[in-house]
Amino acid sequence: MALEDTLTGPVFDRFRDLVYRKAGIALGSTKKSLLVSRLAKRAKDCGCQSFQDYYDAVTQATDGEEFLNMLDCITTNKTDFFREPVHFSFLRDVILTSVGTERRLKVWSAACSSGEEPYSIAMTITDTIQQAERWDWRILASDISTRVLAQAKSGRYEMDRVERLPSDALRRHFLKGTGSAKGTVKVKPTLADHIAFRRINLMDEVYPIKTQLDVIFCRNVMIYFDRTTQESVLRKFFRYLKVGGYLFVGHSESLQWVPNPFTYVAPTIYRKG
């Protein structure tokens, strides 16, 4: 029997429970064919003969690494520089003009994928604040996936990823690769030095964050969660935000139907208090 034909109802339920319990991702019963198409190759690469074999490989790996590989196959890491630009305009025009005399700013890019989001935040900050080097501004960039985090941390991108950035932004914030890195660019330390990359699973009860945040970007990940999980994540975000702090969510993630303690500001933009 081909591996593709071995995802029986009970085996699918096992994967579904595991993914929900560990990553909060809710796979509806219609997602069976998606799981087959996304996981079959990975399962074969791991030498498995069936989906049950692959389930065993995922759950028995003591370092949890295969679970993360599996998750990378299921979720999309799609992102872009200045994706959903309205959030960056709001950051520039509303938030950065009102942070005031404290000269401190702490932003969390939760589910940052390969880093385009935190680097876009960093570009917005340095391009807006006068004498940004005198400010204490920091960005925490996190994701559940160690693979995308490694890419984010490297700060290196293929030229086609940045081709839509204005040429002066490209010049100011990126270094052109030479030799074997030709055709790529690397984020300059003036941005990168302000960003800490960490693996954080949004399902964790407690996040490793000590100082309260001014802004949280959590975009295009809650769409994978069911309402109960969204509600619990939103309650945690509320705890970690300063009063007056802002939350940005993805364009298709309106909180309208999810009980939450935030004040609505504009579509996909919310505030604490």
Ligand X SMILES: C[S@@+](CC[C@H](N)C(=O)[O-])C[C@H]1O[C@@H](n2cnc3c(N)ncnc32)[C@H](O)[C@@H]1O
Which residues of this chain interact with ligand X, rule CB under 6 A? Answer: 23-25, 75-79, 83, 111-113, 117, 143-145, 148, 201-203, 219-221, 250
What is the end-to-end Cα distance of the chain in Å, rounded? 58
Residue 139 near residue 173, CB atoms below 8 Å: no
Neighbouring CB atoms inside 10 A of 224's CB total 19
How far is the C-alpha of 1 from the C-alpha of 232, rounded, in Å? Answer: 42
164/176 with CB nearer ligand X: 164
CB of 112 to ligand X, least distance (A): 6
202/209 with CB nearer ligand X: 202
- Is 38 a catalytic site residue? yes
CB of 177 to ligand X, least distance (A): 23
Counts for the chain of helices (H) and strands (E), in that order = 11, 10
- Is 138 a catalytic site residue? no
φ and ψ at residue 130, rounded to 5 degrees: -75, 135
Q: Name the residue number minimizing CB distance to ligand X.
A: 79
CB of 223 to ligand X, least distance (A): 8
23/129 with CB nearer ligand X: 23
| Eight-class DSSP state of 225 | B
Residue 20 near residue 67, CB atoms below 8 Å: no
50/69 with CB nearer ligand X: 69
| Eight-class DSSP state of 212 | P
Beta bridge partners of 195: 139
CB of 218 to ligand X, least distance (A): 7
Residue 273 near residue 246, CB atoms below 8 Å: no
CB of 129 to ligand X, least distance (A): 23
- Catalytic-labelled residue, pool 14, 138, 143, 214: 143
70/129 with CB nearer ligand X: 70
Report the Cα 22 to chain-centroid distance in Å.
16
Q: List the structure tokens of 193.
A: 């030095």
| Eight-class DSSP state of 115 | T
The residues annotated with a catalytic role in the active site are 38, 143
